[in-house]
């Protein structure tokens, strides 16, 4: 019987492109985010991917004091949890501003997008009939006229800074071009293995969220890197992709990310009331596939992370 590797389950707790008017259940304050992390950790998640928000209105922010408050509370409640951070930043930020969360807090994992994409709108704006805060609609609509730009020079800078700070780059790509750029960085010795690859599928303006895309990217990754140099995970954006593509990844011995950053529905038309509901759903599917969930320490060993005692928060 083929050996089934343990499943690394990551939860993207809050994101930025999900807004309070889309769902009243999105965690906003540092306490709410830390509590969601704790629930998911206790339910079996090995890792979380975090953004930070203004507690007054839920708007995205990159304020370092907000980051410090949130990260400190998350670690206090869930000491063994792998805490990953975004480096997506806000539109218009410089590379150094986007990387400040890495240089200041030295997390175990941080996102790194090795390509440029046309927009990152996760959820269709017209579904919202009434906006709770003035910032929401202009923020979401701005993605239609914006490009998430990552030149090769910038990508190399991200990798360099992360490695200097002992942070594993979480290579999030939205198409095959990101995979090829990651291959080039690895061949040139700028990225060290084991690689941690995230296939982000279903974002508007990028690759579609179809099973064929998962198969294609996984096949290409195997061809480029070989079977023992990387681990891969699927981020299915929106319902039902989060579940269908997650199930496909599990059947192919990949890993899964869920969470309110990527999807706000548990069933058709039924909002998730907590990230832990998605964790419980994925656990049920994992049990059917015979995939035991990896603990945070088991995931650390698989990904060759430095350990929670070596972060600066």
Q: How confident is the model over 196-211, as pLDDT tens digits?
A: 999 999 887 788 899 9
Query: Is the CB of residue 302 less than 8 Å from the CB of residue 8?
Result: yes
CA angle 273, 85, 57 (to 5 degrees): 50
Alpha helical stretches, state H, 18-175: 30-43, 64-77, 95-105, 136-142, 152-164
Distance CA 17, CA 262 (A): 9
- Partners of 256 in the β-ladder: 9, 234
- Band (pLDDT 50/70/90 cuts) for residue 121 is low
Distance CA 224, CA 186 (A): 10
Residue 149: what pLDDT? 82
Residue 2: what pLDDT? 59
Distance (Å) of CA 95 to CA 77, 107, 267: 31, 17, 38
- Partners of 173 in the β-ladder: 199
- Partners of 168 in the β-ladder: 109
Torsion of CA 52, 25, 261, 41, to 10 degrees: 80
Structure tokens at 302: 């698989």
Residue appearing with tokens 């306490």 = 31
Average pLDDT value over all residues in the chain: 93
Q: What is the mean pLDDT of residues 124-135?
A: 78
Q: What is the mean pLDDT of residues 126-132?
A: 80
- Kindly report, residue by residue over 210-262, the tens digit of the pLDDT: 999 999 999 999 999 998 999 999 999 999 999 999 999 999 999 999 999 99
Residue 120: what pLDDT? 55
- Band (pLDDT 50/70/90 cuts) for residue 126 is very low
Select, from the ranges 19-23, 78-82, 114-118, the one with the highest average predicted confidence (pLDDT).
78-82
Other Cβ atoms closer than 10 A to 187: 11
Q: Of 84, 148, 143, which is closest to residue 113 (Cα–Cα)?
A: 148
Those residues with Cβ within 8 angstroms of residue 1's Cβ, 6 or more apart along the chain or in another chain: none
pLDDT at 87 over 80: yes
DSSP SS3 for 224:
helix
Q: For the chain, give the percent of residues with pLDDT over 90.
A: 81
Distance (Å) of CA 298 to CA 6, 28, 81, 244, 292: 8, 29, 11, 25, 11
Query: Is the CB of residue 43 less than 8 Å from the CB of residue 276?
Result: yes
The pairing of strands 9-12 and 270-271 is: unpaired
Phi and psi for 44 in degrees, rounded to 5?
A: 125, 0
Distance (Å) of CA 257 to CA 43, 45, 75, 168: 14, 10, 20, 17
More confident of the two residues 180 and 116: 180
Distance CA 75, CA 107 (A): 11
Residue appearing with tokens 């509590």 = 35
């Amino acid at each position: 019987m083929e050996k089934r590797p343990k499943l690394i389950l990551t939860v993207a707790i809050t994101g930025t492109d999900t807004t309070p008017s889309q769902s009243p259940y999105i965690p906003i304050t540092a306490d709410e985010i830390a509590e969601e992390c704790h629930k998911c950790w206790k339910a079996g998640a090995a890792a979380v991917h975090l953004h930070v928000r203004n507690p007054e209105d839920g708007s995205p922010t990159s304020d370092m004091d907000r980051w410090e408050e949130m990260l400190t509370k998350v670690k206090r409640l869930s000491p063994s949890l792998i805490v990953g951070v975004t480096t997506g930043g806000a539109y218009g930020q410089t590379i150094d501003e986007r990387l400040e969360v890495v240089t200041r807090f030295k997390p175990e994992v941080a996102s790194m997008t090795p390509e440029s994409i046309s927009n990152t709108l996760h959820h269709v704006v017209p579904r919202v009939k009434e906006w709770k805060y003035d910032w929401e609609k202009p923020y979401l609509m701005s993605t239609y006229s914006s490009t998430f730009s990552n030149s090769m020079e910038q990508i190399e800078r991200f990798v360099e800074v992360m490695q200097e700070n002992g942070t594993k780059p979480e290579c999030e790509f939205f198409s095959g071009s990101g995979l090829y750029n990651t291959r080039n960085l690895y061949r040139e010795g700028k990225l060290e293995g084991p690689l941690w690859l995230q296939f982000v599928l279903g974002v508007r303006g990028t690759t579609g969220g179809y099973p064929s895309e998962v198969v294609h990217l996984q096949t290409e990754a195997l061809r480029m890197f070989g079977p023992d140099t990387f681990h891969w995970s699927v981020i299915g954006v929106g319902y039902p992709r989060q579940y269908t593509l997650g199930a496909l990844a599990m059947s192919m011995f990949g890993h899964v990310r869920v969470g309110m950053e990527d999807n706000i529905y548990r069933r058709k038309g039924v909002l998730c009331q907590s990230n832990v509901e998605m964790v419980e759903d994925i656990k049920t599917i994992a049990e059917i596939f015979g995939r035991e969930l990896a603990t945070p320490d088991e995931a650390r060993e698989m990904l060759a992370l430095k350990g929670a005692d070596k972060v600066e928060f």
